[in-house]
Homo-oligomer: A and B are copies of this chain.
Amino acid sequence: MIELDPNAKTPLYEQLYAALADEIRTGRRAPGTPLPGRRTMAAQQGISVNTVDAAYQMLAAEGLAEPRPRSGFYVQKTYGMLHSRTRRAPVPPPAASAPEKPAAPAPLYDLSTGSVDTALFPARSWGRIQKELLYRSPELLQRGEMQGDAPLRAQIAEYLSVYRGVDCTPEQIVVGAGIEYLLGCLAHLFADGMAAIENPGYSRTRTVLQNSGIPCTPVDIDRDGMPADALEKSGANLCYLTPSHHFPTGVTMPAPRRAQLLAWAAAKPGRYILEDDYDSEFRFDTRPLPSLQGMAGPDGPVVYLTTFSKSLAPGIRIACMVLPQSLLARYRRDFATYANTVGRFEQQTLCEFMAGGYFTRHLARMRLAYKRRMELFAAALRAALPGVELDGVHSGLHFLLTLSGAGGERAMVEAAARQGVRLRGLSEYYLARPELCREDTVVAGYSALKESDVQAVAEALAKAWR
């Protein structure tokens, strides 16, 4: 029996949540055991089922309990993985419950992926364009086109054609406030579909697609990316790929594999590849392969997706997708009454930023800066950690770091954290079958790493892993 105080300032559901969280954290509720049914708990405590449900949902949100379909809530089994998982959660728990979880000390050096160095952002040009537009173009206060402003779509189509080999007209482009939003729109077009996703890969994509009603099945990649026969066997009709730079292994899909996957898509109507051209801007040595979309053509079974939040700044929310003709008419019909999700001043600022050549110059500068940083960091790591292997250094803003004899992935991540370095184990990116993961490997992002810190990080890691 848990003691709840109906007169306390803290709501009942938070009291119940706190008591249960404590029992789980201290091991009084064993991993894998079921929590009492919601009705049972409500009757025992003399509270409403909704109150119990709110508490259970909070436990699930914190990763302490796990809902199972038609079977209620269970104490999280893999409590060991939990700690790092909750620490990664970008959203703080409700204020009232925060004191219960001791705050993780802020890392001195953050090698997580997904951030960019905003010092490289050309704030002055961006700000000047934005300000001029605000005074000069009051028409941007009005509602714009559903797919995004036509001049911006024309700029994007041209850029994607020249730099990514995308074969499309501006009419096929849809601008939106992030890839997550665009995937949600696609999920509607693909109702009743099932998606194969790369394993390892983005858990975010699985979350978004599943939230939008598309079940996902992870397919193990090999050294060329997703194998077409495994994809065929999965029974999926959709396939989410990061062919130009697989996340997180950095594999670039070679042309024969691309052809096999396009053949898979062409073999049956209703099959589509969702090509996330993640990170394609950051390639240091080789020319990037043109997009799958370009191989398939404007009527091919590929939806191309890319984001400007990576190449400009995460705080700027602009992404786009290129719809094949076969999906365009239905998209336009079903979304005809929608407003575009990107503010028009921001759209037009990006448009002029591209038209004025600022965007490609900005990319070129970033490539140089990141390449230099990667080379410095890799050299420092090789010097400090004899026997270290670095993979995927030719593109993207992170690489894989393998070091045998340092106690294995988990121990490496924890020891690094104790030295103030935040990074993640490769197995954390496995959506299924983590036993396939390469041993002793962590993912090291360097986009937010200052050049002046490179040496210190290498030394901290050497200390951690010696």
Contacts and interface: CB of A to CB of B under 8 A. Distances in A.
A50 B130 contact: no
A58 interface: yes
A334 interface: yes
Contact of A118 (B61, B127, B138, B181): B138
A367 to B, nearest CB: 18
B118 A141 contact: yes
B60 A333 contact: yes
Interface in A96-122: 114-115, 118-119, 121
A345 to B, nearest CB: 7
A11 interface: yes
Contacts of A131: 127, 130-131
Contact of A130 (B130, B146, B181, B336): B130
A398 B142 CA distance: 18
A299 interface: yes
Interface in A337-352: 337-346
Contacts of A139: 118
A171 B95 contact: yes
A466 to B, nearest CB: 33
A340 to B, nearest CB: 7
B317 A177 contact: yes
Interface in A305-348: 309, 313-318, 325-326, 328-330, 332-346
Interface in A203-222: 203-204, 207-208, 211-213
A330 B95 contact: no
Contacts of A345: 315-316
Contacts of A344: 315-316
A39 to B, nearest CB: 11
Nearest to A309: B339
A143 B346 CA distance: 16
Contacts of A61: 329-330, 332-333, 336
Given A188-B212, A330-B57, A142 B313 contact: yes
Contacts of A188: 211-213
Nearest to A346: B343
Nearest to A119: B138
Instruction: Determine which residue in A118, A180, A332 has the highest number of CB atoms from chain B within 10 A of its CB, and name it.
Output: A332
A358 to B, nearest CB: 15
A144 interface: yes
Given A89-B336, A91-B147, A134 B126 contact: yes
A140 B171 contact: no
Interface in A34-48: 48
A143 B115 contact: yes
A54 B191 CA distance: 17
Task: Return the 5 tightest CB-CB contacts between A and B, nearest first.
Answer: A57-B329, A61-B333, A141-B313, A118-B141, A315-B344
18 contacts: A50-B269, A50-B326, A54-B325, A54-B328, A90-B146, A90-B336, A95-B171, A130-B130, A130-B131, A142-B313, A143-B314, A143-B315, A178-B338, A191-B213, A204-B337, A212-B212, A317-B343, A343-B346
